[in-house]
Amino acid sequence: MKKKIMILGAAVTAAASAFAQGDGTAGISEATKMVANYFEPLTQLIYAVGAVVGLIGGIKVYQKFSSGDPDTSKTASSWFGACIFLIVAATVLRSFFL
């Protein structure tokens, strides 16, 4: 008797999970909609972080240039590269996900 109850419980559990699975299209479309809703604020946040990093980097380059540091060109090129990377990364992510 105990064995029959366990088999019946397993069958009911398997049937319930089979009904819950469906074809998955609703879940995928819901996930796509959620990613699309969060992407625009995230892109704006990346641009804002890029602006702050750009200002701080610009100040650092100006200070090195004013003090006559010979390492100014290296700092300027890395600062410029970081700013370009943030802009390109946000653009590429937008085109990739949307």
**For the whole model, what pTM was predicted?**
0.57
| Domain coordinates in residue numbering, the chain | 26-97
The DSSP annotation for 42-93 comes to HHHHHHHHHHHHHHHHHHHHHHHHHHT-TTHHHHHHHHHHHHHHHHHHHHHH
Per-residue pLDDT of the chain (98 residues; tens, 9 = 90+): 666 676 766 666 665 555 555 566 777 777 778 777 777 888 888 888 888 888 888 898 899 889 988 888 888 888 888 888 888 888 887 777 66
